[in-house]
């Protein structure tokens, strides 16, 4: 430290070297602002990527696949039969000829009656609601939805072929 006292305002005003010019006014936003915006944008992008990846992995793990058509189901049927018993080529062809038209007919029936079955189920649900009352029916519906949700998270129909 020096032994000299600090300059007074008058002395500082007289000396041009001790005087500083005021900083120029800032135009626009500062560097810290844009760094914060960039950090938030990167965090958002990372969240979107992680979320989408998680959803894809979850759906693959839970085996959310559409119901197999009759040809796919026939392949599954024949492969399971061959796992259990040994089929000759002639037997496999004969089973194919016997089962294929039945699977195709079942697929047509399923499509034809899907809306009818859904309507019957809705009518039945409404009649049950009238019998047990809205509060108890609400409890029943919550249980049913949870049970259905649990089955879906276990890979859907337990008898369905897993890949």
Reduced to 3 states (helix: H, G, I; strand: E, B; else coil), residue 86 is: coil
State yes or no: pLDDT of 162 exceeds 50: no
User: Would you say the C-alpha torsion 131, 132, 133, 137 has a positive or negative sign?
Assistant: negative
pLDDT in tens, 83-124: 888 888 898 899 999 999 998 898 888 888 888 888 898 999
| Maximum Cα interatomic distance, the chain, rounded to a whole number of Å | 115
Q: How far apart are CA 125 and CA 119, in angstroms?
A: 10
Residues 6+ apart with CB under 8 A from 76: 68, 161
State yes or no: pLDDT of 16 exceeds 80: no
User: What are φ and ψ of residue 23, in 5° steps?
Assistant: -65, 150
30 pLDDT band, cuts 50/70/90, is: confident
Q: What is the mean pLDDT of residues 10-33?
A: 67
State yes or no: pLDDT of 18 exceeds 50: yes
pLDDT for 111 equals 86
Tokens of 133: 């009352």
pLDDT in tens, 140-158: 888 888 887 766 555 544 4
pLDDT for 121 equals 87
pLDDT in tens, 42-88: 999 999 899 888 887 777 776 655 677 778 888 888 888 888 888 88
Q: How far apart are CA 38 and CA 46, in angstroms?
A: 12
């Amino acid at each position: 430290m020096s032994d000299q006292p600090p300059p007074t305002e008058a002395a500082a005003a007289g000396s041009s070297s001790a005087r500083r010019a005021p900083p120029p006014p800032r135009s626009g936003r500062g560097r810290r602002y844009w760094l914060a915006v960039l950090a938030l944008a990167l965090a958002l992008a990372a969240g979107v990527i992680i979320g989408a990846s998680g959803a894809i992995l979850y759906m693959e793990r839970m085996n959310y696949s559409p119901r197999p058509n009759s040809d796919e189901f026939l392949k599954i049927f024949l492969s399971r039969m061959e796992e259990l018993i040994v089929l000759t080529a002639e037997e496999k062809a004969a089973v194919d000829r016997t089962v294929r038209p039945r699977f195709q007919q079942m697929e047509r029936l399923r499509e034809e009656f899907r809306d009818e079955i859904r309507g019957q189920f809705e009518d039945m649900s409404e009649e049950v609601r009238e019998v047990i009352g809205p509060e108890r029916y609400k409890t029943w519906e919550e249980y049913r939805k949870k049970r259905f949700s649990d089955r879906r998270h276990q890979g859907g129909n337990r008898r369905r072929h897993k890949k």
